[in-house]
């Protein structure tokens, strides 16, 4: 084969869309996670005992069948006081975000997000359009409501706001969320309520009266079903009809669909776990005050700490102590920040003890926090969760 033919073949090779080449990519950590999991904001304990009982009751024949999503959607809708057509079950909230972007965004449209926030918003939006507008929080990491509202334009087609927000733990009031929806009637407002159970305020009750509001919920956090990959979208039935058209009819696996009804029915368990987190969160924040570690007040199942220049050393030292943390320095405005998940009482106790020991081991001081103030440190590719 001569050089001319080789060049011709290269020019004919398959190429992805330009948007795929330019979109950001998430990189889940490849290291093992056989330790105390205070890194991914999961349930650190276990799901309801009823879920385990249901798993043991699944038959071999049941695994041979295609899953039926709609009967479970009716159960879930009734649980949340909604109509079946107002609910769509998804393969986690990750798929829910992707479906909304695929349904509502044209290449010339704009999407609006608040940063720092969940990285999958960037990934899914930029798969569809390069016009992602980001409104950065100030040093408090609170929601910049006035600047965010000013970011809405006639081209805005999708707005995504997480409340409580990951990785900051900050919340956006229902009043402000409804004001955003009213200010952008041409856009879908998706409120990501993945951490709802640890805060308590929701807009899910507004989906029947606010035509452009869609609420996302996950069953990976308080319910402890992260491995089963199941979430939901709740919203205007007309909007969800379009999203349902884009979704695969078999997007949620049958094991998840079998377990979800018993998981949501065990309200006592979910209330217990959420209470464990709320109490543990206060213990963690009080413990950090005692250690002199700056942090951001949180309404989620995690706390974001400002460690400064020794952030990588802390994460490594905690792993050596059998506790996993999550470095967040790759997030905008989060240089030197590390996030710790809050779980059940025993796990909070172990996390605090390990923090006290490792901060001493690495020779941490508040001076190292000020060394990174105002800088943006990138630890390489941004990672998922």
Q: Is the pLDDT of residue 243 over 90?
A: yes
- Using CA atoms, how far residue 144 sits from 96, 150, 153, 172, 176, in Å, is 25, 10, 17, 9, 11
Q: Tell me which of 368 and 107 has the higher pLDDT.
A: 107
Confidence of residue 96 (pLDDT cuts 50, 70, 90): very high
pLDDT at 1: 56
Do residues 230 and 256 make contact, with C-beta atoms less than 8 angstroms apart?
yes
Interior/surface letters 145-178, b for 16+ CB within 10 angstroms, e for the rest: beebeebbeebbbbbbbbbbbbbbbbbbeeebbb
Q: What is the pLDDT of residue 34?
A: 86
**Domain ranges in the chain with CATH number 3.90.1150.10:** 18-44+268-371
* % of the chain residues with pLDDT over 90: 86
- Tell me what pLDDT residue 52 has: 96
The whole-number pLDDT of residue 30 equals: 60
Whether residue 245 is predicted with pLDDT greater than 90 in this model: the reply is yes
Could you tell me where in the chain the CATH 3.40.640.10 domains are found?
49-265
Hey, what CATH topology would domain 18-44+268-371 get?
3.90.1150
pLDDT tens sequence across 170-191: 999 999 999 999 999 999 999 9
| Tens digit of each residue's pLDDT (9 = 90 or more) over 261-312 | 999 999 999 999 999 999 999 999 999 999 999 999 999 999 999 999 999 9
Separation CA 284–CA 344 (nearest Å): 12
- pLDDT at residue 379, rounded to an integer: 45
pLDDT at 149 > cutoff 80: yes
CATH code reported for the domain at 49-265: 3.40.640.10
Q: What is the percent of the chain where pLDDT is above 70? A: 92
Q: What is the pTM of this model?
A: 0.92
State residue 29's pLDDT score: 67
DSSP code at position 83: -
For the stretch 57-92, pLDDT in tens is 999 999 999 999 999 999 999 999 999 999 999 999
User: What is the mean predicted confidence (pLDDT) over 2-30?
Assistant: 77
Question: pLDDT per residue over 302-349, tens digit each?
Answer: 999 999 999 999 999 999 999 999 999 999 999 999 999 999 999 999
Q: Are strands 337-341 and 110-115 parallel, antiparallel or unpaired?
A: unpaired
Can the peptide bond before residue 167 be classed as cis, meaning omega within 30 degrees of 0?
yes
């Amino acid at each position: 084969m001569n050089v001319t033919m080789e060049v011709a073949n290269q020019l004919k090779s398959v190429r992805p869309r330009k948007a795929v080449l330019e979109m950001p990519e998430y990189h889940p950590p490849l290291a093992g996670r056989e330790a105390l999991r205070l890194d991914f904001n999961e349930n650190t304990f276990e799901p309801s005992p009823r879920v385990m009982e249901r798993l043991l009751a699944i038959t071999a024949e049941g695994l041979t069948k295609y899953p039926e999503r709609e009967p479970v959607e009716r159960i879930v809708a009734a649980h949340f006081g909604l109509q079946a057509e107002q609910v769509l079950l998804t393969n986690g909230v990750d798929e829910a975000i992707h479906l909304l972007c695929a349904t509502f965004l044209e290449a010339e449209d704009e999407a609006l997000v608040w940063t720092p926030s969940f990285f999958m918003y960037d990934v899914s939006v930029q798969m569809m359009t390069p016009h992602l507008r980001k409104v950065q929080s100030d040093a408090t990491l609170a929601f910049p409501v006035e600047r965010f509202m000013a970011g809405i334009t006639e081209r805005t087609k999708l707005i995504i706001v997480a409340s409580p927000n990951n990785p900051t733990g900050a919340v956006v009031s229902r009043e402000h969320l409804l004001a955003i929806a009213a200010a952008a009637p041409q856009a879908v407002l998706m409120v990501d309520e993945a951490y709802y159970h640890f805060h308590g305020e929701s807009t899910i009750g507004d989906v029947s009266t606010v035509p452009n509001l869609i609420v996302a919920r996950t069953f990976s956090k308080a319910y402890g079903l992260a491995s089963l990959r199941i979430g939901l979208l709740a919203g205007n039935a007309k909007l969800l009809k379009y999203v349902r058209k884009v979704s695969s009819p078999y997007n949620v696996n049958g094991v998840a669909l079998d377990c979800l009804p018993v998981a949501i029915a065990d309200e006592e368990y979910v209330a217990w776990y959420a209470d464990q987190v709320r109490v543990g969160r206060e213990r963690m924040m009080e413990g950090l005050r005692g250690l002199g570690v700056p942090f951001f007040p949180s309404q989620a199942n995690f706390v974001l700490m400002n460690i400064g220049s020794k952030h990588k050393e802390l994460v490594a030292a905690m792993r050596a102590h059998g506790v996993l943390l999550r470095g967040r320095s790759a997030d905008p405005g989060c240089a030197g920040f590390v996030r710790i998940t809050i779980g059940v009482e025993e796990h909070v106790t172990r996390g605090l003890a390990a923090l006290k020991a490792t901060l001493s081991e690495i020779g941490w001081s508040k001076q190292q926090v000020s060394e990174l103030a105002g800088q943006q440190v990138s630890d390489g590719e941004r990672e998922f969760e």
